[in-house]
Amino acid sequence: MYVPLQCKTIKRNKTMCTLINQQLPEFKVNAYRKDKGFFTVTNEDLKGKWSILFFYPGDFTFVCPTELADLQDFYAELQGLGVEVYSVSTDSHFVHKAWSDATDTIKGIEYTMLADMTFDLSRKHGVMIEEDGQAYRGTFLYNPEGKLKVLEIHDNGIGRDASELMRKVKAAKFVYENPGLVCPAKWKEGAATLKPSIDLVGKI
């Protein structure tokens, strides 16, 4: 499996490899959206805004439509926060449309569905299952500068919870907009945050 890790030298003879804070990779894929039909999406389209790439194994499957519908339930709220959503599978844009036309669940999806037919985008995010031609369930949140701030990868038998993603999105945006503050465990919008300092050491 190809994982686009970037290793940085942090001390002599020591390196650190991580996906967090990596830049959104270059890509160009076909896409389908109910209100726009077929069009092309590139990494440039994601610049300047918060973006979620929501990878799933395939159209016309079982867990996948429940996840996409769950995410749709939060789409209006995400848009209100300035966050755009892109679902991604290795199916073609034609299959995305056929799925939307065939089922009421997918017919209700309003966000853009990306067609990663060359597997390039899935490989660059480390979720590609080469022997199956499908991706793992992977969620990636990029900030307006194109830096990866949240990632989650599941085995394909485990469905995701969009309400938990929503909590992470709000926490990521809060930290981004309030430098010097951090969100503790189970933080929810409006709850107390922390300001790390020497005065706080040993008092939590």
Kindly name the residue from 7, 17, 64, 183 that is annotated as catalytic: 64
- The sign of the torsion formed by the CA atoms of 86, 92, 97, 102 equals negative
Contacts of 95 (CB under 8 A, 6+ apart): 59, 60, 115
Say what percent of the chain tops pLDDT 70.
Answer: 92
What is the widest separation between alpha-carbon atoms in the chain? 60
**DSSP, residue by residue, 72-101:** HTTHHHHHHTTEEEEEEESS-HHHHHHHHH
Domain regions of the chain by residue span: 6-179
pLDDT at 187: 97
pLDDT in tens, 102-132: 999 999 999 999 999 999 999 999 999 999 9
Q: Choose among 83, 86, 85, 87: nearest CA to 65.
A: 87
pTM of the predicted protein model: 0.92
User: What pLDDT sits at residue 204?
Assistant: 87
6-179 CATH pick, 3.40.50.10280, 3.30.390.50, 3.30.565.60, 3.40.30.10: 3.40.30.10
Answer whether residue 140 shows pLDDT above 50.
yes
17 catalytic residue (yes or no): no
